[in-house]
Amino acid sequence: MMTDIEIADQAKMQPITEIAAKIGLSEDEIEQYGKYKAKITLPVTAHPDKKHKLVLVTSINPTPAGEGKSTVLVGLGDAMNQLGHQTIIAMREPSMGPVFGIKGGATGGGYSQVVPMEDINLHFTGDLHALTSANNTLAALVDNYIMRDNQLGLDPRRIIWKRVEDVNDRVLRNVVTGLGGIMQGVPRQTGFDITAASEMMAILCLSTDLMDLKRRVGKIVVGYTYDKQPVTVAQLHFEDAITILLKDAIKPNLVQTLDHTPTIIHGGPFANIAHGCNSVLATKTALQLADYTVTESGFGADLGAEKFMDIKRRVLGKNPDAVVIVATVRALEYNGGAELADLKEEHLPELKKGMANLNRHIKNMQRYGVPLVVAINHFVTDTDAEVQMIADNCRQLGVNVVTADAWAKGGAGTQDLAREVVSLTEQKSDFHELYSLDASPAEKVETVATKIYGAQDVEFSRKAQRQLKQFADLGWDKLPVCIAKTQYSFTDDQTQLGAPSDFTFHIREFVPKLGAGFIVALAGNMMTMPGLSKVPAAVNMTIDKDGKITGLF
């Protein structure tokens, strides 16, 4: 089997104008970025004769390599179209942090990929750079404001707006800026986050149009005054300048799969330290133009899918019609205690034990009342006994289960899943909200922690308790919560695999993100700037004189 990049290199792509035409967009309705990428001009007019069905792909708790959600998503989109169900895929933009760090690209794998793979995984149409520039322009404007008149009395010790970059760069987690004397600004301690975890990224993903984006930027709280009053971007009159920097980034990007399925890739927040869903505009555009929109949310269903249901869905104004939970033999065995290096072997006892992880995700998704199917993402190393054990487990629970061979066979290997998904979307769903926005932030965190994670209770640090009181006084307590938590565990401790229960979940701090429209709750020691591993993916990349690349996976 060839590597992902070798398969992608051999793809015969169709001109992007042809892909656009398939979904009813003329050349005037797209802005071309070369031959195979385009931005979609907004607003898009809805096609009233479409079915507008929405399918959400999520997964169990993954191994560090990922469990093939994107791969299954792409295979599913291809299979739906092959079977004559007009489908658009909507997914997230890769961040260069994981691409050069642990995980490699995020454009699917094997014969279920989105292309041009190298472009999408690297600079693509520049959205992440635009977001980084917008974020850092705001940071520079704030520091300049403090150095000049500082009429509002912004306290340099209480600035919460950080700089960002799209790199895993642990040395920038904590920095001191403004050193070197009077002309270099006011010294203060701050830090960098990764762009994918920034409020600017969340704003791009949750805005419904350019003016909504501007309104949201205006609501960003950059810090507090000496008498502890919050200061917003609108008070400083910077929102237009920042919005100008995002005027193109807000437009969704159109590309294609290896099988030429139209794919909208836009926005890329991580699901552990951010809200983990592609943009509302991308999903909405797909819904307007297709019978079926298949989309994903990051990491396991405890993170991405919960945030899809409780954050993105409220803005999108559309509940999913079906949910696909991707499970792999490997990750269930890992959750059951098998060693990471040893997952190619059969481990039936560990698989049995790890099944508790899948079963909790099933129960959690059933809580929302949306029809669901488990997709076993098939690896060549899976044995029949292993696959059978997962299938039997699901059938005992009365849950539909299908094996998907998206990686090895593309859409052809994913047609059974496609048929199941189409039939699920015909069923009546009875959506239930997990929590009401009227609940306090503490109650919202407690609901997610006890109902979704399986915690017994939640412990809020002294700082977090102080913040809860402050947020209530400021009237910020009616927003959803976005919990930043490890992707490997239901708990806040990444070594607790499987499906632990009766544990205490710890919140150390809250961060108000009023522009995004949620309150971030930082759990355990979760950090918003990742680091690189001992042997980052970057070490194994090559490029030759013709520009040919290897090692992007």
* 170 catalytic per annotation: no
Nearer to ligand ADP, 33 or 111 (CB): 111
Q: Count the Cβ atoms, other than its own, within 10 Å of residue 58.
A: 30
Nearer Cβ to ligand ADP (9/443): 9
Which is nearer to ligand ADP, 67 or 143 (by Cβ)?
67
Nearer to ligand ADP, 135 or 489 (CB): 489
DSSP state of 297: B
- Do residues 82 and 112 lie in contact, with contact meaning Cβ atoms separated by under 8 Å? no
Q: Of 226, 5, 1, whose CA–CA distance to 113 is shortest?
A: 5
Three-state secondary-structure class, residue 315 = helix
Q: Which stretch binds ligand ADP (CB under 6 A): 34-42, 57-65, 189-197, 483-491?
A: 57-65
Residue 65 assigned to a binding site: yes
Q: Which residue has the tokens 């030429």?
A: 260
Which of 39, 68, 320, 338 lies at the binding interface for ligand ADP (CB under 6 A)?
68
- Give strand ranges (E) for 233-313: 253-257, 262-265, 292-296
CA dist., res. 446 & res. 3, Å (int): 43
Q: Which two tokens stand for residue 259?
A: 């099988």
Q: Is 68 annotated as a binding residue?
A: yes
Q: What is the helix (H) or strand (E) element at residue 513, kind and residue range? A: strand 504-513
Give the nearer residue to ligand ADP in terms of CB position, either 110 or 512.
110
379 is catalytic: yes
Of 50, 69, 284, 330, the catalytic one is 69
Nearest to 98 by CA among 200, 201, 195: 195
Judged by CB under 6 A, which of 75, 94, 101, 108 binds ligand ADP? 108
**Among this protein's residues, is 518 annotated catalytic?**
no
- Tokens for 345? 């072997």
Report the residue closest to ligand ADP, judged by CB.
Answer: 109
Does position 143 interact with ligand ADP (CB under 6 A)? The reply is no
Nearest to 415 by CA among 68, 72, 83, 70: 83
- Was 262 annotated as part of a binding site? no
103 as an active site residue: the answer is yes
- Calpha distance 214→442 (Å, rounded): 29
Q: Residue 67, interface with ligand ADP (CB under 6 A)? A: yes
How distant is the alpha carbon of residue 157 from its chain centre?
Answer: 31
The Cβ-side half-sphere exposure at 77, using a 13 Å CA radius, reads 33
Cα–Cα distance, 539 to 541 (Å, whole number):
6
Catalytic residue among 271, 286, 404, 499: 271
Identity of the residue, 111 or 453, whose beta carbon is nearer to ligand ADP in the bound complex: 111
User: Does 64 carry a binding-site annotation?
Assistant: yes
Determine the Cα–Cα distance for residues 8 and 157; give it in Å rounded to an integer.
49
Q: Is 70 annotated as a binding residue?
A: yes
Binding track, positions 110-129, relative to ligand ADP; x by CB under 6 A: x-------------------
- Catalytic residue (one of 124, 270, 407, 510): 407
Nearest to 297 by CA among 124, 70, 494, 88: 70
Query: Does the bond joining 116 to the residue before it have cis omega, within 30 degrees of 0?
Result: yes
CB 129 within 8 A of CB 166: yes
Secondary structure class of 416 (helix, strand, coil): helix
Give least dist CB 382 to ligand ADP, A.
Answer: 9
69 noted as active-site residue: yes
Pick the catalytic residue: 11, 38, 53, 71?
Answer: 71
The verdict on 70 binding ligand ADP (CB under 6 A) reads: yes
Say whether 344 is catalytic: no
Site for ligand ADP in 355-394 (CB under 6 A): 377-379
From 379, 391, 412, 447, the catalytic residue:
379
Which one of 53, 103, 214, 312 is the catalytic residue?
103
Q: Looking only at residues 206 through 235 of this chain, which bind ligand ADP when binding is defined by CB under 6 A?
A: none
Q: Would you call 490 a catalytic residue per the annotation?
A: no
Is 336 annotated in some ligand binding site? no
Q: Does 415 sit near ligand ADP (CB under 6 A)?
A: no
The residues annotated with a catalytic role in the active site are: 69, 71, 92, 103, 271, 299, 379, 407
- Note the residues at the interface with ligand ADP (CB under 6 A): 4, 59, 62, 65-71, 104, 106, 108-110, 377-379, 407, 553
Mark the binding-site residues, compressed into ranges: 63-70
Residue stretches of the annotated binding site for ATP: 63-70
